[in-house]
Structure 1
Amino acid sequence: MIRTYDVFVSFRGEDTRNNFTSFLFHDLSRNGIVAFKDDTHLHKGESIAPELLQAIEGSRLFVVVFSKNYASSTWCLRELAHICNCIQTSQRCVLPIFYDVDPSDVRKQSGCYEKAFVEHEERFREDKEKMEEVQTWRESLTRVANLSGWDIQNKPQYAEIEEIIQKIKNILGHKFSCLPKDNLVGMESRVETLSRILCLELANDVRVVGISGMGGIGKTTLAHSLYERISEQYNFCCFIDVSKIYQASGTIGVQKQLLSQCLKEKNLEIFNASEGTCLAWERLHHARALIVLDNVDQDRQLNMFTGNREALLRECLGGGSRIIIISRDKHILRKYGVDDVYQVQPLNHEDATQLFYKYAFKGNHIMSGYEELTYDILSHVQGHPLAIQVLGSSLFDRSISQWRSALVRFKENKSDNIIGFLRLGFDELDNLEKEIFLDIACFFNNEKEEHVMEILTFREFHPEYGLQVLVEKSLITIEDGDIRMHDLLIDLGRCIAREKSPKEPIKWSRLWDYQDLLKVMSDKMESVINHEVIAVEDFLMEFYETAIRADALSKMSKLKFLKLDFLNFCGNLDHLSNELGYLIWFEYPFKHLPPSFQPNNLIHLSLRKSNMKQVWKDKKPLPNLRHLDLAHSKNLIQIPDLGEAPNLRLLDLNGCKKLRQLHPSVGLLTKLTLLNLEKCKSLTKTPHFRENQILETLNLRGCRQLKEINTSIGLLQKLTFLDLNGCGNLISLPNSILCLSSLEYLNLSGCQKLFNIQFLHEARDEEQMKKLCIGESPICSHSTSSIMKRWFKSPLHLLHSRAHKGLVSCLLPSSPTLGCMRELHLNFCNLVQIPDAIGNLHLLESLCLRGNNFATLPSLKKLWKLYYLNLQDCRQLKYLPELPSRTDLSSERYQLPEYLDLLKYKEAGLNIYGCPELVELEHCTSMAFSWTRQILEVYHLFTAHYMAIPPISSIIRGSEIPSWFKNDHEGIGSLITVDESPLMQKDNNCIGLACCVVFGPPSGIMAPPKTESVHRFRAEIPLFLGEDQVTEDHLWLFYYALPQSLLTCWDADFKLEIEITNIGSWTFEVKKYGYCWLYEKHLEVSNLIMMGIQNL
């Protein structure tokens, strides 16, 4: 019998059709589960309609929704009886749901069900056959009501439906009638074939299957597609690229990644391969697991976690486990002893034709005149997906004559190796595009487009046009600003780069592999070497002990790009190529650059964490230098004369602890926009600046010995950011700062000796200042309101004052300036009363009143823009103030441009941590959660325009998860595991995730840190406790808005886990947690009651 439905739902329409079952059918459909929904016209006459009988018999699972009037319907009772007949003759499940009736009433036919059966028996008492049918109905009710199900009376329906859907999915397994669509040509039949080979229905054995095929044929894509559909059925899952990890981290790296993904742990330590093998046996013993090992290209990559015991994983894992090994080499698979091998075949003619049309004609139909050429091309590519994609893209929008020419060239270069097919796309490129292709293949895959463009421009490759050509020919893609190239095309490019002398890397123009570099540097070189680009970053750390001779670099006179990370060099470096445009050397080991080096062509010089004392001694011409980064060079005592670096834009000296002064030439750099001197702890003064400089950012944070700022700072008319935080010896600031008309951010926190602040009391005509931080400085003792009146003519973003005990209520006079205030931070100011005038700050967005001594607050109802309120450690607080209502928060007064500015880099919500005197706690919790939800609604109005929505959260004392969350989850360490089905189903109606965590003081020994998986998210409790510790349980509710881009890129190996972390050294334990996926319908007023939010 062919089953046509996944689920048959039996329900009384007049009771639940427009509420519960409507929601249930919607979520079944959204999860790809095909459910039969009867039409009212089928309920005619006395006999059950044949269509209903067929639907019941053709369904794999039954859901029965018992409501008050269910038993009064003979149709419903006949459906139920037929369902019971079906489950007697086949292994199918029935899931009862008790909507608004007590299960015992259904089971015993009491209450309203008793009344219905009295009527049935009265009606049929003269018909013996009908009376027997009535008895059958009673037996069916009793039988089904005795089964495990859901009593959803007085419970939030959404959470219950979510649990029901998950149960159905678990029962149905991977065989939905409507599998998720991948929108990949020819994929469905392949997934079905692989599923059969895996024998997914066998629950007791462990099966190992290999996937093999030529490069680019779709092996990984197929495995991913199946993995997405069945991974939720397993307790432990992982999908790893074995070869890639092995090359980067060796044996231990692969063991670590496999166990980390399966066990969902972070910081998992493995010190040797033998230990990793034992750990795999110990932790995965009898586990039901799905393990996919992709890109296995060496025998030892499989032996490394089996300890040379081929059957280890098979013997270790529990029944029902499946292992999929993907390799181009079938010999590796057979040697490992797989049960079967799925050889991925080329696309059949129909699918190949569809795929070719998609790229060559951008549609589903062929253009007139191209029929014969298309047939000829498809007969040669032989259904290879990547070859079709690349060739089709290269022929798009070309004439018939160009197609004929391409076909001739293709036939001439035909090779059994698929690289020969792919090379056609490369051979069609002009010389410059070929060079761009090779550079990306060898060095710049997954790099930012802007960065690659800059390098390729230096190489005189004119990349703006060339990159577009590569995109059009499907040789690269550019996604989210990153350049990406298929692995097979990378292989092609690297093959071409070394094809003239495959075993002599000394003759190549490009070097990217550590061992090739080691060979080149070890050879005795008598002549100049032709290398133009060397970039070696990823190598096995076990090779680090091997020292590389640095003198070989002296022979590379044509070198234009050099990037070296974490390499161990020995010897001397006497020369460097004067052709260098990019010199990026992490942990540069020498005390200076070679004196003979002439950096005329240098654009980017980055020697972070170097051993240098000085870069070079003499003045050097630097006409092209734009980026100079010497950060964390702890021995650097002076920087070079930069007088001949007219184009320098960035100078980063962060962490250069021994640097006492800057060369005066820094004050002459007219194009410098960023000067980072953070943590230059020995620096005593700033340079003398000039009027024509365009410096925008000056970071002096942590310059402890800095005593004065040169008065010339007032000449920097483009300066927007000035950070002096932690300049503990700074005793004065020049009044010339008043001339900084563009200054938006000024941080004077921690300037403990800064008493001369007359400039703050001078009037300003400018309107740019947005943020002033004066915490823990003597400025706090001055009249704050007078400072604000003089300095802030436009909306004030932040006044931060901390540790001052003398501020009084005159902080809030009636002033036009304060009426424009956007953020107000008055933390730890010993305030016992907040003036009512605070309720008139109508533009206020953020209000922080931490650590004060007031018991009540004035009404904040009119603060219609308020999105953040922090009352942490207000230990005398008894009552929460009135907060803006939902109507105000969603008011049309929100204008998009200003609201987008509001959303940037902000947090939102309510923090009421550490308020032990708070009364009416249940009411306060309801207010907090309701207000947080209202903010979410407003934020959601703008998600179509601005996706970087900040976290929204509330913290309040409590220990019980609200009922509308999907709860009953006990805390395990600091990790929350979430059902990611809305992401897997790519449901565009899903807008975010709401979580509620009960955290409190640790109850005992803390669980060891988990191993961080590649796709784990972190949620940081927004609490600043200093040296204090958590003393009682608190609720933390947080929302995350879901960017639609995340839905589109979500992949099968993404696991939605949330690790709860904190700020600082205080410790905590997650006691409980609950979560709930939010959909657009939940933000509608009509659905709020269903979620239970209004009645928290």
Structure 2
Amino acid sequence: MASNAIIQYTSSSSSLATHIYDVFVSFRGEDTRNTFTSFLFQALRTKGIIVFKDDEDLKKGESIAPELLQAIQASRLFIVVFSQNYASSTWCLRELAEIRNCIERRVIIPIFYDVDPSVVRKQGGCYEKAFAEHEKRFGEDEVKMEEVQRWRQALTQVANLSGWDIRNKSQCEPIEEIVQNIINIVGPKMSKLPKDELVGIESRVRELTNTLRLDSINDVRVVGISGMGGIGKTTLARALYERIYHQYDRRCFIDDVSKIYRDSGLLGVQKQLISQSLNVKNLEICNAIDGTYWVWTRLHNARTLLVLDNVDQGEQLKMFTANRDIRGCVGEGSRVVIISRDEHILKTHGVDDVYQVQLLSWENAVQLFCRNAFKVNYILDDYEELAREVLSHAQGHPLAIEIIGSSLFGRNVSQWRSALSKLRYNKDRNIMDVLRISFDQLKEEEKEIFLDIACFLYKCGYSKDEVEKFLRFRGFDYENGIPALIEKSLITCEDGVIYMHRLLMDLGQSIVREKSPKEPLKWSRLWDYEDFKKAMLDNEATENLEVIYIKPGWHRGTVKADGLSKIRHLKLLKFMNVSFSGSLNHLSNELAYLQWSGYPFKCLPQSFQPEKLVELYLVGSSIKQLWEGTKPLQNLKFLDLSYSEDLVEMPDVRDALNLEKIELKGCIKLRKINPSIGLLKKLAFLNLGNCKNLVSLPHTILDLNSLEYLNVSGCSKLYNNELLDERRNKDHLKKLCLVEAHILSQSTPSFIKKMFLQPSDLLFPSSPTLPCSLTCLRELDLSFCKLVRIPDVIGKLSCLERLNLKGNNFTTLPNLQNLFRLYHLNLQHCKKFKRLPVLPLQTDYSSEFCKLPLSCFTDEKLVGLIIYNCPKLVERELCTSLIFSWMIQIVQSYEARFLENALSSQIKPCVGSLIPGSEIPRWFNNQFVSMDNSIKIDTSLVMHENNWIGVVCCAIFHVGNESEIIDYTSIDHSARIPPVDLRTDQVIDHSDHMWLFYLSRQEFGGGHYDFRWYKSYNGVISVEFRRLVMEWSEFRKDKDRYVNVYVKKYGYRRVYEKDRQLPNSGTRVDITQFFGTSSHEYSSKASSQETILQLMQ
């Protein structure tokens, strides 16, 4: 008979937090200790119920009454076992009176063992005799007699509660029923705690519960939990365990399997498992073989919940057997959870699924930090920026947030600043020790790969190809090393990009420094400019240093180059924007990669033997002659000497038979190309752009069927029409740049796909006629050709994808609506341009536009339209609607192509347009006035949602009249190409313009930080509207003047998955369908240009 007391139970979150015991059992020892009560205790403990039993838990020699009072107050539920002699014990009756005082707040379950319930209620029979003895004993003591009366009342009240009458019954069946009802009451303990006890735990428990498929009661499921150190794997598993353990016949949570295994071996782990799951103490097992048998025989028929925490070796899972699958060792409906930082261990042992614990969301990170740093749920005034700095450093890592937050509690702003300044250089030891465990478990080469990524490849994320290339230069096994780091949660690979958490980067760099923290010359790697500068000052020989990789930046001072001559085992050297003095007598012959932008010497050291060199970049160098004679170049694949203005002779490359790419752009004194180039059967790329003194090319170039790209633009002295001979294999040459090369003719072959022209290439520059043979042309650049008319033939170039007409004098354009593949049109600085033509349309998903080649979206170029500094343009409002419609199609195709073709591993382009406009359209439902000349886009509240795919943004800006001399030439949100040329000699239109751009969801982080020119943290992007350098200009001799840009206001709107669907009919894309409607005023769907225009206003 189930107890009605269960229905009466109500929980109190505040009181539950102080409970030590689940159940307090009141019983008469001499009646039931060795029978029913003993069996009941065993059954409760087997189910994980914490039971207070006075003859075990009370300490000898201490007063019993205070101990009992404390135990009663610390218990959640009471069981009273009424037996024949229960009422004869004043001890039992005093317990009962105290229990009765809790009847309003807690559950009391009476069990009638060998006595009739009515005898207890009315104190008849043996209970009457017992009370007669009590009254006789205390008859003259008025206080004691009042206590006796309270005992009678307690007996009556408790006996009136529904419970179990087990007289003359088998004890097994009622014990099982009693235990199950108690489990239902005390149930999942964690769920009774306040829900905000553990920040962010609820959603994670739900996800893990789904992974375990708890609703499937017959199958056995084994699930792994993985993630970086300190991320909360054990906390999550414990939270879930506490909620579901009562549903299982056997349950066990083994903390830190790794430590038990180290201390006591496999047998120690087995003893822990058996002790917990069977509630057996002082277990005698002699060896692991016996332990294996014990585990299997005790669990294989029982529904078991088993959690193994911190498994770091496969051997630790052999507690079951070396050969038997875990699933065969537990009964139907069992669940096994294995927690490990090493996903490889989990997969090796056949887990059904692996749950990856993620970093905290921005909202949860703020909440956790505030609880530790301020003891409230919000950031205090004056601490906002400092708090954001901490959170940006911790990047959602809960352990780091807790430790750093707690260390800052109670300190003022000045103390915070001081502490954070120290934190940049002196990492918290408690955090580093937790993270280092994973590093110490790596193999030696895996450690080296980790340190390389931590020191050189941590910011912004690097594509897998870039990381692979770097590690190959180092001679490391990329194919096995990278997966090993991913499996151990030391790096992540998302959308084909490798990321490392900032704290792990800190760990790696501190490991490199730890042996000689103040002597950088003794480190294996140098990445910080100041450390490099200090190391070179020592000018001593070193055996340890293998990589020097100084990131771009404005580095102050001059570095002595002499020290580089004494680095004997240097394998990779990369500088940008570093000034040197002194001399260079030697370079390590072990170099596989050398990039030294602005190399200050006239040649490479003669002693340098580059037989291991794969890539050589000396951009903007002072080189006159790279070397004399020949060198062992059998591994060289890339040679870049571009902008080396003193270079007079190309080096002899006859031994570089693997050379694939040669960059000599901007070598203005170069007169001839070494004939040995004709021997390079693998050469695919040759850039001779702006080699103004180049007068001829070796005829052997015509024999290079591997050549795909040839740039002779700006070679004004070059005459050689043989380059365009149709007899060449047209499947090879894909891109030809001809600006000022004097070799364009009407016989230009049809296989040319990209062409860049200037006036000198055209027969009649102001009114040109293009060759009719350009049927495969994809990219055409006619910028600054002084054209007053654009040839009509352009509208018939059906393969055209990119058209640059910047800086011309035409007033109108030909019909472009049949250019279905066109995805970029540049019309900036067309100062006489008046009217925008009809742009390409599409009416269904199968159109040519939606079949744009994948290359359109993977070459880091702008996708969209630029109309800037066109002061004569009329009908600007209609222009805006047409452009919006066209841009929407581009975004739809952009997302569709990436999703359908899994292009996430590629670098995505900038999707955007820039047009005249002064008002943000009203359907941008988040609109702001810019206070600091920047844009802040916040999607943190919806980062957890799966149905949005990106954000469309709009900013209104204008350019000022003032100017300054700078290197930065344009504005763009992704720092990939320059959408706007801001030179003062070009800008005459100072009216407002509208900058539209699209950011895919991946660019908002979820763990990614420090984009090149804008910052993202878990859904918040800040775009600094500044002049950004698009093409490195450190080697330009003359600086231009540029106008300043000012943002007036901006807005943005999220794009949802449903918005990505293309319309099936209509002449224009329905803008409300794309952007969605958030209020009734947008409920009607647009189907005409007029309606679209109305929405733009």
With normalisation by structure 1, the TM-score equals: 0.52
1:976 aligns with 2:935: yes
Q: d(CA) in 1 for partners of 2:811 and 2:472? A: 64
- Shift of residue 864, structure 1, vs aligned partner: 3.6
- Shift of residue 841, structure 1, vs aligned partner: 4.8
- Shift of residue 720, structure 1, vs aligned partner: 1.8
**For residue 1039 of structure 1, what is the aligned residue in structure 2?**
997
- Shift of residue 687, structure 1, vs aligned partner: 1.3
Counterpart residue type for residue 679 of structure 1: G
Q: d(CA) in 2 for partners of 1:475 and 1:223? A: 13
**For residue 412 of structure 2, what is the aligned residue in structure 1?**
311
Q: d(CA) in 1 for partners of 2:706 and 2:670? A: 24
Deviations 1:351-372 (A, max 9, x none): xxxxxxxxxxxxxxxxxxxxxx
1:930 aligns with 2:911: no
Are the structure 2 counterparts of residues 829 and 233 from structure 1 closer, same or farther at C-alpha, using a change threshold of 3 Å?
Answer: farther
Q: Is the 8 A contact 2:473 2:571 kept in 1?
A: yes
Q: CA RMSD in A?
A: 6.1
1:616 aligns with 2:605: yes
Are the structure 2 counterparts of residues 864 and 486 from structure 1 closer, same or farther at C-alpha, using a change threshold of 3 Å?
Answer: closer
Counterpart residue type for residue 1059 of structure 1: E
SS class of match (1:941): helix
1:294-693 residue pairs with structure 2 within 5 A? 311-313=412-414, 425-426=441-442, 429=443, 464-465=479-480, 468-469=483-484, 471-472=486-487, 515-518=518-521, 534-538=524-528, 540=530, 544=533, 548-553=537-542, 556=543, 581-582=571-572, 594=585, 599=589, 601-617=590-606, 622-634=610-622, 636-663=624-651, 665-688=652-675, 689-693=677-681
**For residue 989 of structure 1, what is the aligned residue in structure 2?**
947
Q: d(CA) in 2 for partners of 1:485 and 1:439? A: 11
1:760 aligns with 2:745: yes
SS class of match (2:682): coil
Counterpart residue type for residue 425 of structure 1: Q
Q: Is the 8 A contact 1:863 1:884 kept in 2?
A: yes
1:1076 aligns with 2:1057: no
1:707-722 residue pairs with structure 2 within 5 A? 707-722=695-710
Question: Any gaps of 5 or more consecutive residues in structure 1?
Answer: 5-171, 194-213, 241-261, 263-280, 318-322, 334-342, 345-385, 387-416, 506-512, 521-532, 805-827
- Shift of residue 770, structure 1, vs aligned partner: 0.9
Counterpart residue type for residue 707 of structure 1: V
Counterpart residue type for residue 936 of structure 1: V
SS class of match (1:293): helix
1:1056 aligns with 2:1021: yes
Counterpart residue type for residue 706 of structure 2: K
SS class of match (2:678): coil
Deviations 1:946-1000 (A, max 9, x none): 4555444444433222222236533335312223236x52333222222222223
Deviations 1:499-534 (A, max 9, x none): xxx97x6xxxxxxx5x2345x6xxxxxxxxxxxx83
SS class of match (1:1036): strand
Q: Is the 8 A contact 1:622 1:644 kept in 2?
A: yes
1:774 aligns with 2:757: yes
- Shift of residue 797, structure 1, vs aligned partner: 1.8
Are the structure 2 counterparts of residues 578 and 726 from structure 1 closer, same or farther at C-alpha, using a change threshold of 3 Å?
Answer: same
Q: Is the 8 A contact 2:541 2:566 kept in 1?
A: no
Q: Is the 8 A contact 1:448 1:481 kept in 2?
A: yes
Q: Is the 8 A contact 1:1016 1:1055 kept in 2?
A: no
Among 716, 737, 755, the alignment partner of 1:747 is 737
- Shift of residue 649, structure 1, vs aligned partner: 1.1
Deviations 1:176-208 (A, max 9, x none): 9997659698969989x9xxxxxxxxxxxxxxx
Q: d(CA) in 2 for partners of 1:895 and 1:582? A: 43
Are the structure 2 counterparts of residues 469 and 655 from structure 1 closer, same or farther at C-alpha, using a change threshold of 3 Å?
Answer: same
1:293 aligns with 2:422: no
Question: Any gaps of 5 or more consecutive residues in structure 2?
Answer: 1-9, 14-194, 209-224, 226-230, 239-258, 260-309, 311-338, 341-355, 374-378, 1009-1015, 1029-1040, 1064-1069, 1087-1091
Deviations 1:5-54 (A, max 9, x none): xxxxxxxxxxxxxxxxxxxxxxxxxxxxxxxxxxxxxxxxxxxxxxxxxx
- Shift of residue 768, structure 1, vs aligned partner: 3.6
Are the structure 2 counterparts of residues 438 and 695 from structure 1 closer, same or farther at C-alpha, using a change threshold of 3 Å?
Answer: closer
Counterpart residue type for residue 1022 of structure 1: P
Counterpart residue type for residue 1066 of structure 1: V
1:959 aligns with 2:918: yes
Q: d(CA) in 1 for partners of 2:563 and 2:422? A: 45
Deviations 1:512-569 (A, max 9, x none): x5x2345x6xxxxxxxxxxxx832222656x94686332424xx4x876676898977
Q: Is the 8 A contact 1:1018 1:1060 kept in 2?
A: no
With normalisation by structure 2, the TM-score equals: 0.52
Q: Is the 8 A contact 1:691 1:715 kept in 2?
A: no
Q: Is the 8 A contact 1:875 1:917 kept in 2?
A: yes
Counterpart residue type for residue 970 of structure 1: V
Are the structure 2 counterparts of residues 473 and 712 from structure 1 closer, same or farther at C-alpha, using a change threshold of 3 Å?
Answer: same
Q: Is the 8 A contact 1:578 1:598 kept in 2?
A: yes
Q: d(CA) in 2 for partners of 1:922 and 1:782? A: 33
Are the structure 2 counterparts of residues 975 and 443 from structure 1 closer, same or farther at C-alpha, using a change threshold of 3 Å?
Answer: closer
Q: d(CA) in 2 for partners of 1:291 and 1:701? A: 47
SS class of match (2:894): helix
Are the structure 2 counterparts of residues 881 and 176 from structure 1 closer, same or farther at C-alpha, using a change threshold of 3 Å?
Answer: farther
Are the structure 2 counterparts of residues 602 and 914 from structure 1 closer, same or farther at C-alpha, using a change threshold of 3 Å?
Answer: closer
1:829 aligns with 2:792: no
**For residue 1023 of structure 1, what is the aligned residue in structure 2?**
980
**For residue 229 of structure 1, what is the aligned residue in structure 2?**
364
Counterpart residue type for residue 725 of structure 1: S
Q: Percentage identity across aligned positions?
A: 26
Counterpart residue type for residue 930 of structure 2: G
1:111-126 residue pairs with structure 2 within 5 A? none
Counterpart residue type for residue 693 of structure 2: Q
Counterpart residue type for residue 538 of structure 1: D
Q: d(CA) in 1 for partners of 2:691 and 2:673? A: 10
SS class of match (1:1056): strand
**Which has the greater radius of gyration?**
2
Q: d(CA) in 1 for partners of 2:940 and 2:503? A: 32
- Shift of residue 771, structure 1, vs aligned partner: 1.0
SS class of match (2:667): coil
SS class of match (2:673): coil
- Shift of residue 661, structure 1, vs aligned partner: 1.1
Are the structure 2 counterparts of residues 639 and 173 from structure 1 closer, same or farther at C-alpha, using a change threshold of 3 Å?
Answer: farther
Are the structure 2 counterparts of residues 418 and 941 from structure 1 closer, same or farther at C-alpha, using a change threshold of 3 Å?
Answer: closer
Q: Is the 8 A contact 1:697 1:719 kept in 2?
A: yes
Deviations 1:298-343 (A, max 9, x none): 9xx99xx99xx963448999xxxxx99998999999xxxxxxxxx9
Q: Is the 8 A contact 2:943 2:1006 kept in 1?
A: no
1:1000 aligns with 2:958: yes
- Shift of residue 1042, structure 1, vs aligned partner: 0.9
- Shift of residue 1040, structure 1, vs aligned partner: 0.8
Are the structure 2 counterparts of residues 942 and 604 from structure 1 closer, same or farther at C-alpha, using a change threshold of 3 Å?
Answer: closer
Q: Is the 8 A contact 1:1028 1:1066 kept in 2?
A: no
**For residue 779 of structure 2, what is the aligned residue in structure 1?**
798
- Shift of residue 1045, structure 1, vs aligned partner: 7.1
SS class of match (1:932): helix
Q: d(CA) in 2 for partners of 1:716 and 1:1001? A: 48
Are the structure 2 counterparts of residues 616 and 640 from structure 1 closer, same or farther at C-alpha, using a change threshold of 3 Å?
Answer: farther
Q: d(CA) in 2 for partners of 1:177 and 1:854? A: 60
Q: Is the 8 A contact 2:781 2:805 kept in 1?
A: no
